[in-house]
Structure 1
Amino acid sequence: MRTTLEPSAQRREAGPESLLGLTIGSFQLTRLLGRGGMGAVYLGEHVDIGSRVAIKLLHGRLANSPQVLRRFHMEARAVNLIGHENIVNIIDINPAPPRPYLVMEYLEGEPLSALLGRGPVPAEVAVALLAQVCDALQATHARGIVHRDLKPENLFLLQRGHGPAFVKVLDFGIAKLLDSDERGTDTQEGAIIGSADYMAPEQSRGEALDGRADIYALGVIAYQLVTGRLPFVERSLTALLLAHQTKQPIPPTSLCPDVPPALSSVILRALAKEPGDRFQSASTMRGALQVALDMVRSPAGPTRTPPPMGPFSVRPALALPVLMTAHPGAAAEQLTCTDLTRGGMFLCMDQLLPPLLSRVVVALEHPDGELTCECEVVRHVQPEEARAWGMAAGFGVQFVEPSVSFKAAVAHLMLGQPLHTLRPPMDPAAEAEVEQVLAPYRERGTEDLYVFLALPPDSGCEELRVRARRACSALERLRERPISPALRAKAETVLDRVRKAAETLSHPRRRAAYDAERGNFQGVARCLAAGLTATQLEELRRDFLARRPHAQGPLRVHLATAQAHQQAGLLSHAREAYERALILDPLSLELHKQYLAVCRALGTSGRPGPGSGGKVNLI
């Protein structure tokens, strides 16, 4: 395969276009979607099922380079390690020459660069997009991975409904695994790898990197989103890299008065020259972006967080035990609250304090169960400051959208009443409403996940994800209603079951294994359409059949019957026999092909006949 990065259009298209029509694995290359320094990306269509994927094919001139192949393999490994909804899903990889390739989910939308080409966007839109990238980066960095090439071309926007665009982070081709055993390879040999317009100062100097380099790149993107221009525009690469290392960018609010000063400050902090002066985590930057946006909204209506609290005064009489969880999955720490207001509290702590603007969860112990509230860290009092001021070291937090029950608990405590005497407020109307929402889940039971989610067994994987996400959002809102702790616990149980059902059914491989156990061959067909490969299908099938040796006899009978009917031209009978065979062997790609051929001959989309047990459409 011949490729080039020369500007000539003729030379650009010579190599990639010649591969159209080629079959790679189970997919035929039908359209060139794009190309870059490492390879070209094609639309691939499954030759039997018709499902669409994106296939990234490595340039032929790079296919024999061990370093490039290692990097190519690292992209798949990095994405697999992270596993986040805002990161493109890689379905399969073939790292072997002559044509190494990745099979990825196919995305329909546009890159962020296309949006930027239309000019600056409002602060609300910018924050909505940046927050999603922060979520993806937080998951990335938590796995010890640095993207190292974050830029608008690598952020893809999908339109889902009428809300803000859904962001997918692409191209982990030069991502660095911080805990990789490949130290000293091509990503650490002093080579400058990345895009100069978005490159952190330490990256252009060839220094060791961590997640804060990605924070800098995101700061550049944020600058572009709100101003419509890059922070530095120079005539040469050297001048551009030096500008990132030495020059201070013009504040966004100076270029565009519509940019809120608080948001401008957040962006400038992300663009700090020294990593230690930037946000130390993507989640902290996300919190700062949200705070900046809330400050803009505050004159017009209720804020997401209360106004800043005044100075904390020490109240020795108050020594309230509080459980604090610094981040999801962390163990709760018991701290002492020495100051409490309607808007927040001060917690004593002389160890490493949570970062400013980070989110923590506090819990008050009540006989009917813990009362929790997410909080934002807004103040630090270091030990030396505490000694000077005659108070305890620790940190202050503001409550973020406290529930009715939590507000009642705070008010009760501020009146000097012990928490165990508080009867949580309950609204009979709210109780009836929550019971009405939970009742269908109880009636459906949890035996069949499709029934539990009120979805047909042939639902698409994306439809399942959307339905589960909406169900989770609705159930999460129920927890904040003024209801009894017992009913809140029931809502939590249902929410947990919905999440587990979604984890099983929205992932093609897990869903195929689940569907096979229930003879739902139509669900397996949906998994193939969502990108389940023939290799993965065969692996699942071997395990499935090994556990069912008794099914081989009936399977052969149904298959022979189906083939006999097909040869005799009795296609409706053949279809029913194939359906009975597929119920016994739902993971057989060959059976799916034969069944689909009969359905097409009948002029149907694969609707089951009367003998199929009610199975649904084959896609």
Structure 2
Amino acid sequence: MIGQALGKYRVVEKLGEGGMGIVYRARDEGLNRNVAVKILPPGALTDEVSRKRFRKEALTLAKLNHPNIESLYDLDNKDGVDFLVMEYVPGATLAERLAGGPLPEKEVLTLGMQVAAALEEAHDQGVAHRDLKPGNIGVTPKGQVKVLDFGLAKVLPQAAEVDITVSLTETPAMAGTLPYMPPELLRGEPTDTRADIYSLGVVLYEMSTGQRPFREPLASRLTDAILHQLPNTPRTLNPSVSPELERIILKCMEKKQENRYQSAKELRVDLGRLLPSTAGAAPARR
């Protein structure tokens, strides 16, 4: 695929791969800019009905216009290959950043506020992420968050099921999506935007402590822990975490939806209170 052209997009290098497809950096030869091209899994769009549904949902995603959300530019099919064209986000994913251990609290707060702001905008537009995890959070060299793959778990349900199935069957169980899934999803119950709040709580926990809240090696035990056990408090693992941030994290991760933050805005404002200079301000919309 490297060096090949998909319409006006020339593929330069592979960036990553997952259940949602393979992502490449490509060059938009018409506008002379870098873009990210996601090649959808074979069979993701099996017929004209699924293709129309995908296009309709993708048009909704393309309307998301926020500095902390990766923009969707285009979707197309060339030579039987379905692909999405998105904003190219330089830098590293949060997962790569966390490989070095926990982050300072100020950075946890600034990054967490940006993710919450992205969720706030998307939720206001009726879009849930459904697969929030460090690997889906880009951080530019200047520290700007870009939440990736917004809503694709709904647009590509079969691909999302692949990610979840892999997480449920893999050993170790810490791979993939499962560690960030809320209890109601594991129980097969209806979910809403508060599922994203839970997932962000797990991400905040991991940023603060360098560990995920539940570390059971087998998927069955990990699932049971998410459903029934309480995590170690963040301050137990990292005493430098402030009591206020610990309270926020644990509220996000409440087992019952009604006990969590009820909106991303509420969470963003609380995080902002720990950074007095920000006063919980949301980034300006583009």
- Corresponding residue number in structure 2 for 1:280: 262
1:211-256 C-alpha deviation (Å, 9 max, x unpaired): 1000000000000011000000112112111111110111101211
Instruction: Determine the C-alpha separation between the residues in 2 that align with 1:274 and 1:134.
Output: 20
Instruction: Determine the C-alpha separation between the residues in 1 that align with 2:54 and 2:224.
Output: 30
- Corresponding residue number in structure 2 for 1:26: 8
For the residue of structure 2 that corresponds to 1:145, the secondary structure is coil
- Corresponding residue number in structure 2 for 1:117: 99
1:170-189 C-alpha deviation (Å, 9 max, x unpaired): 01353449xxxxxxx86999
Q: Does 1:140 align with 2:114?
A: no
Instruction: Determine the C-alpha separation between the residues in 2 that align with 1:233 and 1:74.
Output: 39
Does 165-174 or 265-274 show the bigger shift? 165-174
> Does the CA-based 8 Å contact 1:22-1:28 persist in structure 2?
yes
> By how many angstroms is 1:201 displaced?
0.3
Which consecutive residues of structure 1, in runs of 5 or more, have no partner in the other structure? 1-18, 178-184, 295-302, 306-358, 360-373, 375-468, 473-498, 504-619
TM-score (norm 1): 0.41
> By how many angstroms is 1:59 displaced?
2.6
Structure 1 residues 46 and 290 mapped into 2: Cα distance closer, same or farther (>3 Å)?
closer
Structure 1 residues 97 and 172 mapped into 2: Cα distance closer, same or farther (>3 Å)?
farther
Instruction: Determine the C-alpha separation between the residues in 2 that align with 1:137 and 1:149.
Output: 12
State the AA in 1 paired with 2:237.
L
For the residue of structure 1 that corresponds to 2:74, the secondary structure is strand
TM-score (norm 2): 0.85
Instruction: Determine the C-alpha separation between the residues in 2 that align with 1:74 and 1:205.
Output: 29
Q: 1:95-244 residue pairs with structure 2 within 5 A?
A: 98-160=80-142, 165-172=143-150, 174-176=152-154, 195-244=177-226
> By how many angstroms is 1:97 displaced?
7.1
> Does the CA-based 8 Å contact 2:95-2:135 persist in structure 1?
yes
For the residue of structure 1 that corresponds to 2:81, the secondary structure is coil
> Does the CA-based 8 Å contact 1:146-1:175 persist in structure 2?
no
2:73 to 91, 95, 98: 91
Which consecutive residues of structure 2, in runs of 5 or more, have no partner in the other structure? 166-175
Structure 1 residues 224 and 65 mapped into 2: Cα distance closer, same or farther (>3 Å)?
farther
State the AA in 1 paired with 2:146.
K
Q: Does 1:53 align with 2:35?
A: yes
Q: 1:53-452 residue pairs with structure 2 within 5 A?
A: 53-64=35-46, 69=51, 73=55, 76-94=58-76, 98-160=80-142, 165-172=143-150, 174-176=152-154, 195-294=177-276
- Corresponding residue number in structure 2 for 1:489: none
Instruction: Determine the C-alpha separation between the residues in 2 that align with 1:304 and 1:20.
Output: 43
The count of residues paired between Structure 1 and Structure 2 equals: 273
Structure 1 residues 137 and 235 mapped into 2: Cα distance closer, same or farther (>3 Å)?
same
Instruction: Determine the C-alpha separation between the residues in 2 that align with 1:35 and 1:75.
Output: 22
> Does the CA-based 8 Å contact 2:112-2:204 persist in structure 1?
yes
> Does the CA-based 8 Å contact 1:72-1:173 persist in structure 2?
no
1:436-484 C-alpha deviation (Å, 9 max, x unpaired): xxxxxxxxxxxxxxxxxxxxxxxxxxxxxxxxx9xx9xxxxxxxxxxxx
State the AA in 1 paired with 2:216.
E
- Corresponding residue number in structure 2 for 1:311: none
Instruction: Determine the C-alpha separation between the residues in 2 that align with 1:44 and 1:134.
Output: 29
Instruction: Determine the C-alpha separation between the residues in 1 that align with 2:77 and 2:88.
Output: 20
State the AA in 1 paired with 2:62.
N
For the residue of structure 2 that corresponds to 1:60, the secondary structure is coil
- Corresponding residue number in structure 1 for 2:169: none
> Does the CA-based 8 Å contact 2:128-2:151 persist in structure 1?
no
> By how many angstroms is 1:129 displaced?
0.2
Instruction: Determine the C-alpha separation between the residues in 2 that align with 1:48 and 1:279.
Output: 44
> By how many angstroms is 1:207 displaced?
1.1
Instruction: Determine the C-alpha separation between the residues in 2 that align with 1:288 and 1:48.
Output: 44
Instruction: Determine the C-alpha separation between the residues in 1 that align with 2:6 and 2:222.
Output: 41
> By how many angstroms is 1:58 displaced?
1.4
Instruction: Determine the C-alpha separation between the residues in 1 that align with 2:78 and 2:11.
Output: 18
> Does the CA-based 8 Å contact 1:29-1:43 persist in structure 2?
yes
The structure that has the greater radius of gyration is 1
Q: Decide which structure has greater helix share.
A: 1
For the residue of structure 1 that corresponds to 2:241, the secondary structure is coil
* Identical residues among aligned pairs (%): 37
Instruction: Determine the C-alpha separation between the residues in 2 that align with 1:304 and 1:156.
Output: 22
For the aligned residue pairs, the C-alpha RMSD in angstroms reads 3.1
Instruction: Determine the C-alpha separation between the residues in 1 that align with 2:50 and 2:278.
Output: 47
> Does the CA-based 8 Å contact 2:248-2:270 persist in structure 1?
yes
For the residue of structure 2 that corresponds to 1:82, the secondary structure is coil
Q: 1:449-464 residue pairs with structure 2 within 5 A?
A: none
1:515-569 C-alpha deviation (Å, 9 max, x unpaired): xxxxxxxxxxxxxxxxxxxxxxxxxxxxxxxxxxxxxxxxxxxxxxxxxxxxxxx
> Does the CA-based 8 Å contact 1:200-1:244 persist in structure 2?
yes
> By how many angstroms is 1:74 displaced?
6.2
> Does the CA-based 8 Å contact 1:75-1:175 persist in structure 2?
no
Instruction: Determine the C-alpha separation between the residues in 2 that align with 1:186 and 1:60.
Output: 11
For the residue of structure 2 that corresponds to 1:87, the secondary structure is coil
> By how many angstroms is 1:48 displaced?
5.6
Instruction: Determine the C-alpha separation between the residues in 2 that align with 1:263 and 1:146.
Output: 24
Instruction: Determine the C-alpha separation between the residues in 1 that align with 2:134 and 2:49.
Output: 26
For the residue of structure 2 that corresponds to 1:229, the secondary structure is coil
State the AA in 1 paired with 2:191.
L
Instruction: Determine the C-alpha separation between the residues in 1 that align with 2:164 and 2:115.
Output: 24
Instruction: Determine the C-alpha separation between the residues in 2 that align with 1:67 and 1:147.
Output: 23
